[in-house]
Amino acid sequence: MEASSSPHHNVFINLTDNPDAGRHARRMHIRRIVMLERHKRRHEDKILATCAEKTPEAPEEAINIGRQQDRNDRCTGSDELSMDSNNARTTQLSAQMELWSMQLFQPRLWLNPDQENTTRLIIEFLCGQTKKAAQNISHVFFIHRRFNNVAKKVDMGQNPLKICGKNLKHWMGYNGTAVLQQSTLWTMCEILSKWKLLSAAQAIALYILLWLRKETAHSRFPCGNIALLVTLRRIFNIVRTRDLHNNTAYTTKQPVHDWHDWIYRESCLRVACLYAILTAVVETDYGRLCDGPSECRIEDLPLPAPKSVWEAEDERSWKESLVVLDDLSSTPTFQDLVGDTIPTDSPWQEEMDEMGLIVKMAAHLWRQNVRV
């Protein structure tokens, strides 16, 4: 019998007493890998076809002129080779970016069905925030109810969050508008005042959730999700170094006597917590909120303030509600939730709002070490 000329394929045998366990997760993992390879091959085929169409034959006059300029041919030839090399690298980078973009914000795959269900519930909750924002921006769980009123008092003028709310109201089905405002914020973020910069971070966060809700990229902005994530990182680096003066704690426990200042700091913290939630439920491998050991880590983020403090209607009720923070022996962090070291009868556990609950669910996922 002649040896087969077909390439050898690895065969994996699943040895288990319960073949049904984890079958859905394995199928989802295989389906995802197959689709990613399929899209990659299709993209490569399109690039090759486009290059073939854009390579015309040299006209006769160009050939004659080239023969008469033999001395310049060497220089010109090297320049053209350099340009061709740069174009090839650009094309390769573009293909790699599109592959990263397809993987970004994809739901994480888990071996345990309970973890899959928790991930699905968190994602559904996050996607619902864009609908809330389209109806009333103050209904979003990481935006303070009095944010717009406070921003008007301390920083006159229209802020990016208002523009985002209008865009979501009129363009819920079009995630291209997210990238259009993103490019503006990327250009202007260094000159924005601290309140406008915070509203820019909140707007970018909502656009990321819109991208997560749509599940597909817009044809005009295939890598827009990467642009949004990198923009959020840049904004937070400016907020941390310029407006928070390299304070990585964001502060919920530090003494803050001004209500407006507390709203600003707590709002920054909640956008950072949203990023921590995203890292637990979707792929965020391209782009980081904070890089390097000298910068803030997700594990060190303080937990969101209790409900009574966050939802205080005015400065007087806010000051009255601060007694809840005084009952805390230390500021609980995301790492405390991951390590399950916060007592169930602690003031934070008993007073947490809906964001605190979602953060707690995300920390439970972080605690799991085995991912597909």
- Residue 285, pLDDT above cutoff 70: yes
What confidence tier does 49 reach under pLDDT thresholds 50, 70, 90? low
State the number of CA atoms in the 13 A half-sphere of 185 facing the CB: 33
Residue 299 tokens read as 């594990």
Please give the C-alpha separations between residue 343 and each of 118, 346, 350, in angstroms, as whole numbers: 22, 5, 10
Query: For position 100, what pLDDT does the model report?
Result: 76
Query: For position 213, what pLDDT does the model report?
Result: 87
Query: For position 20, what pLDDT does the model report?
Result: 67
Residue type for position 128: G
What confidence tier does 154 reach under pLDDT thresholds 50, 70, 90? low
Instruction: Quote the pTM value.
Output: 0.71
Please give the C-alpha separations between residue 101 and each of 5, 94, 227, 285, 314, in angstroms, as whole numbers: 37, 10, 10, 10, 43
Indicate the burial class of 62 (C-beta count within 10 angstroms; 0-12, 13-18, 19 or more): exposed
State the number of CA atoms in the 13 A half-sphere of 60 facing the CB: 0
pLDDT tens digits, one per residue of 213-264: 887 666 667 788 888 888 998 998 898 888 886 554 444 445 567 888 899 9
